[in-house]
Amino acid sequence: MADLRTDVVGARPFVYRKKRLGCGAVGLTELAEEFGTPLYVYSADQIRYRFGLFQAAFAGRAHTICYAVKANSSLAILRLLGEAGAGFDIVSGGELERVRRASKAALKRVVFSGVGKQVWEIDAALKAGILLFNVESEAELSVLAERAEEMGVRARFALRVNPDVFAETHPYISTGLREHKFGIAIGEARAIYKKAKRMKWLDAAGVSVHIGSQIRMVEPFGAALERVLGLVGELRTDGHDIRYVDAGGGLGIDYGASDASDGEGVTAEEQVRRYAAALEGALGGEGARLLLEPGRFLVAQAGALVSRVLVVKKNGAKTFVITDAGMNDLIRPSLYQAHHEIVPVTQGAGEDAVVDVVGPVCESGDFFARDRSMGRVKAGDLLAVLDAGAYGMSLSSNYNTRGRAAEVLVDGDSYGLVRRRESLKEMLGAEILA
């Protein structure tokens, strides 16, 4: 069983007090009784704390922290970060609308990434006056020029270049190599910028790079940025006014740790410090505004998925703890074979047992943990799947016609429902019977 620390400022927010797990001062048992399960619970204090670490680490440089909306697109979390001064990294027109609703003033701090932007999405972003388009192909750049001319708006853009830097992470979330669908080969970028210089409605304002997600070693970030800055120098020689360098996101966390640590046993503060040092070492005296796109690092450890045990079942030598949450609520273990700590909401006595923690979905791949040693539980007990604030709700689905979970945001000793549980009526409302 994870031994969650309770005495570290800035540590993970889910801690035991008198053998009951809470988010800060608010008990998870009470939240489950009021709002039901499955239930996502987020800590506003933890999100602010981690955003503040980035702000402090780069305080000596002109910068904007553009939260990656895809990690967790809750309107409440977007509003919280917008009020703290964040910009936003979006990858769809839907995410743009989320930013508009949560923090309209932050639209001027939006960067639009993604390999397949549709015309209506480009138009909406131009109309909103976003900060920057991160363009991922020469064909996309041509479409952007056409739409900008049609709307009479000059479009600021950065080419997302592929530096061919290897970052040790899951292959599904690695993006910086030449065989990936993302970006433009860095050796081809200068010629494309030259073509763009002849397009009246385009403003080559920056260069962008993003090498992947859940990267815990900081050296690849510095190596990628060094290659980008070499290109920036060439572009300025060619007469381009490069004002932004977008270093992307991808800083990872340690999903296995049970205390305040992130990445090789260091604290979140130390991990951000190391990350900043790697980037600053590459940047040197570069005067362009630095854009950063953290997502997971800001919200993952601020969230937990609370579920109730339906039954404990034995099949031969295997013991299955079957919960009311499933892969439709949190797909990371099934999709990425990702590890999440799972703990009882109420600590019990007795020996730990080796179990598979699984959901009710009709798939053998519906699991949260296999052969996991954890405290003994019984039907009706509550479990918390930790570090679930990123790519949990945002990757959830209605598979097996299961409604998406409710979400609660805890702020200090207060809390509120920020998304109600999805009903059958809402799930079926868009369908048509002739």
Provide the annotated active-site residues: 362
Comparing CA positions, the residue from 146, 142, 187, 195 lying closest to residue 163 is 187
Q: What is the Cα–Cα distance from 192 to 235, expressed in whole angstroms?
A: 11
Comparing CA positions, the residue from 125, 146, 154, 164 lying closest to residue 241 is 154
- Sign of torsion over alpha carbons 233, 239, 244, 247: negative
Q: What is the Cα–Cα distance from 376 to 369, expressed in whole angstroms?
A: 15
Long-range contacts at 307-311 (CB < 8 A, ≥ 24 apart): 307/37, 307/38, 307/39, 307/382, 307/383, 307/385, 308/32, 308/37, 308/380, 308/381, 308/382, 308/383, 309/377, 309/378, 309/379, 309/380, 309/381, 309/382, 309/383, 310/360, 310/379, 311/379
The string over 235-252, giving b where at least 16 C-beta atoms fall within 10 Å of a residue's C-beta and e elsewhere, is beeeebebbbbbbbbbbb
Bond prior to 38 in cis (omega within 30° of 0)? yes
Token pair listed for 128: 């909103």
Q: What is the Cα–Cα distance from 151 to 306, expressed in whole angstroms?
A: 47
Angle between helices 138-151 and 119-128 (to 10 degrees): 50
Token pair listed for 305: 């998925």
The string over 169-182, giving b where at least 16 C-beta atoms fall within 10 Å of a residue's C-beta and e elsewhere, is beeebbbbbeeeeb
Q: What is the dihedral of CA 122, 395, 2, 343, to 10 degrees?
A: 140
Token pair listed for 389: 């604030």
Tell how many helices (H) and how many strands (E) occur in the chain.
Answer: 12, 21
Give the position of tokens 């927010």: 13
Contact of 212 with 166, CB cutoff 8 Å: no
Q: What is the Cα–Cα distance from 40 to 17, expressed in whole angstroms?
A: 20
Contact of 162 with 183, CB cutoff 8 Å: yes
Q: What is the Cα–Cα distance from 271 to 296, expressed in whole angstroms?
A: 14
